[in-house]
Chains A and B, each alone.
Chain A
Amino acid sequence: MCNQAVGLVAAELERQGIATVALQLLRVVAERVRPPRALCVPFPHGYPLGAPDDAKLQHAVIEAALRLLEDPTLAPPALVDYAPASR
């Protein structure tokens, strides 16, 4: 449900002109709800940035998300899997 709520809020922000990137923990939900720009992360619920007290991993996830914001080749809905190689 968290994934849906975040996707719906992202869509509303985008409607009002704000560029968004949403993390998503369940690809099947992201495919159905369709947030405009989403990064699917390979972590369990409760751990969207990967691990507590792991600034390096948290930064890697955020950086991957920010790159989606900057990617001019994406089209809506953009749903991209977080690649461990980008860590």
Chain B
Amino acid sequence: MGEIEEFPLAVRLLLRAYPWRRVDPVPWAPLQRPLAACRLALVSSAAFVAPGQPPFDDDLRGGDPSFREIPADVDLATLRETHRSESFDHSGLARDPNLGFPLERLRELVRAGRIGSLAPRHLSFMGSILAPGRLVKRTAPEAARRLVADGVEAALLVPV
């Protein structure tokens, strides 16, 4: 388990005092058919961008709530991690993007028949959003609509 104690003092104080946004009521959409028949999307908050996409904007007050669409056929070696938080070690992600964006693992699971198929696009956010109002009201609903339009039935979400 990650621990609050792994962060520097200033971050620890912030995390202890921070008014976390509570999901209430908690929505529930169980799988409608076996995973081996389902289309799955990957959603990561590690701020990866594909070639030609702008990096996330660390200067936006409250955090950048935008997202990037990562094409399903992307070469993971071409992804760029633009998360600028200094609160975690970025070296693992630099060495192996699957650590925070496990697309190669999911492709292997499709080939093995564990998952039916993968979405034509996956989504990348930058997780350091202190003021999540725009995320909750605008960008997350838009992200969900795009996945629904792609026939996505299940999603794996990965923070960093």
**A residues in contact (CB < 8 Å) with B:** 1-29, 32-36, 40-53, 55, 58-59, 62, 65-66, 69-70, 72, 75-77, 81
Give 6 CB contacts A-B under 8 Å.
A9-B143, A21-B157, A22-B159, A42-B1, A44-B2, A51-B92
* A82–B95 CA distance with the chains assembled, in angstroms: 24
- Point out the residues of chain B lying under 8 angstroms from A8, CB to CB: 21, 23, 132, 135-136, 140
Measured CA separation A58–B102 after assembly (Å): 8
B139–chain A nearest beta-carbon distance, Å: 9
- Give every chain B residue within 8 A of A16 (Cβ-Cβ): 29, 141, 144-145, 147-148
- Given A2-B128, A11-B23: A26 in contact with B157 (beta carbons within 8 A): no
Cα of A16 to Cα of B154 in the assembled complex, Å: 11
In the complex, the answer to whether B148 meets A18 with C-beta atoms within 8 Å is yes
Question: B interface vs A, CB < 8 Å?
Answer: 1-4, 6-7, 15, 20-24, 26-32, 34-35, 41, 43, 45-46, 63, 85, 87-93, 95-96, 98-100, 102, 104-106, 108-109, 114-115, 123, 125-130, 132, 135-136, 140-141, 143-145, 147-148, 152-160
When distances are taken between beta carbons in the complex, the residues of chain B under 8 Å from A58 are: 98-99, 102, 105
What chain A residues lie within 8 Å of B99 (beta carbons)? 46-52, 58
Tell me whether chain A's interface is mostly helix, strand or loop, or mixed: mixed
Please list the 7 inter-chain residue pairs (A to B) with the smallest Cβ-Cβ separation, ordered nearest first. Answer: A2-B127, A52-B96, A25-B2, A45-B88, A2-B159, A46-B88, A12-B140
Residues of A within 8 A of B157 (CB): 6, 9-10, 13, 20-23, 35
A18-B154 in contact (CB<8A): yes
Count, A-B residue pairs, CB within 8 A: 236
Docked Cα-Cα span, A24 to B135, in Å, equals 18
Residues of A within 8 A of B129 (CB): 1, 4-5
Residue in contact with A62 in the complex, picked from B31, B102, B132, B140, CB distance below 8 Å? B102
Residue from B21, B93, B100, B153 within 8 A of A19 (CB atoms): B153
Question: Taking CB as reference atom, which chain B residue is nearest A66?
Answer: B35
Contact assessment for B114 and A49 in the assembled complex, using a CB-CB cutoff below 8 Å: no
